[in-house]
Amino acid sequence: MQSVGTSHRGKVRSENQDTIFHSDEPVGQLDNLYIVADGMGGHKAGGFASSFAVSRFVELIREIENSDPIEIMKEALQKVSSEILLKCQEEEYSGMGTTMVAATVTEESIFVMNIGDSRLYFADQDLVQVTTDHSFVEELVKAGEIDRRQMRQHPKRNLITRAIGAGIESVPDFFELPKKNGYLLLCSDGLTSMVADDEIKELLLDHSQLENKAAQLVNRANEYGGKDNISLVIVALGERGEITC
């Protein structure tokens, strides 16, 4: 199993408030760990929120003695959420928060956690969005008021309904999938708000190296305006030469 990660400021924002982490080696009791977080908040608070959340999440996972990947991530996130809420009481960090999508892979399963609108996709012959956005526009889609093509252009597309901190609900979703050869893509909305799923699929499933796939995805988002920070982690599931495309 191999992974690559990249994070780019984009073409509009003055600061990169995203944070990524990827390890193909064990982290605590987990066989591996992959994370993308997208911070929010005035001044530098958003960047602090995502960086703090990811670093503490990883530290806590290294400390937790448990064999259940979902329980490990759940316990770590609960502690991170509490610590972020305490930080939010300080004036310079008031209102800050972050999304997070995280995944770990065992011999048989893929375990996923998400909160906010950072996503995880699985790609083999097709591209499947595993996570569900915690966002205002996702609620509009569920209500039948807009379709998914309209999400990326909606004026309230950046309004999220769950996050770590930010004074809103901090309950994550968890998913367990059977492991099979293909690719995982964890990404911030700086990618998905700029690049349609069909194009993401095309770039992810081409026959280039992982580093080139990541670079092409970032470049495409920037070609379309790069209005937000663009961060992603790609995980190739299987040994070299065993990835199905």
List, in order of start, the domains of the chain with CATH numbers.
Answer: 2-130+162-237 (3.60.40.10)
The span from the CA of 86 to the CA of 101, in Å, is: 22
Listing DSSP states for 180-212 in one string gives -SEEEEEE-HHHHTTS-HHHHHHHHTSSS-HHH
Confidence category of residue 42, pLDDT binned at 50, 70, 90: low
- The arithmetic mean of pLDDT across residues 213-229, rounded, is 97
Provide the mean pLDDT of the chain.
Answer: 93
Tell me the backbone φ, ψ of residue 173, rounded to 5 degrees.
-105, 150
Say what the pTM is. Answer: 0.93
The span from the CA of 26 to the CA of 135, in Å, is: 32
The span from the CA of 215 to the CA of 218, in Å, is: 5
Helix (H) or strand (E) holding 6: strand 2-8
Cα 169 to chain centroid, rounded: 18
pLDDT at 154: 82
pLDDT at 244: 36
Confidence category of residue 6, pLDDT binned at 50, 70, 90: very high
- The arithmetic mean of pLDDT across residues 177-181, rounded, is 95
pLDDT at 245: 31
* 97 neighbors 164 (Cβ within 8 angstroms): yes
The span from the CA of 7 to the CA of 69, in Å, is: 26
Identity at 9, one-letter amino acid code: R
* Cα three-residue angle 127-128-130, rounded to 5 degrees: 145
The span from the CA of 46 to the CA of 219, in Å, is: 24
Q: Is the pLDDT of residue 97 over 90?
A: yes
Identity at 170, one-letter amino acid code: S
* 186 neighbors 36 (Cβ within 8 angstroms): yes
Helix (H) or strand (E) holding 52: helix 45-63
Confidence category of residue 243, pLDDT binned at 50, 70, 90: very low
Percent of the chain with pLDDT over 90: 80
* Cα three-residue angle 224-12-228, rounded to 5 degrees: 70
The span from the CA of 181 to the CA of 124, in Å, is: 7
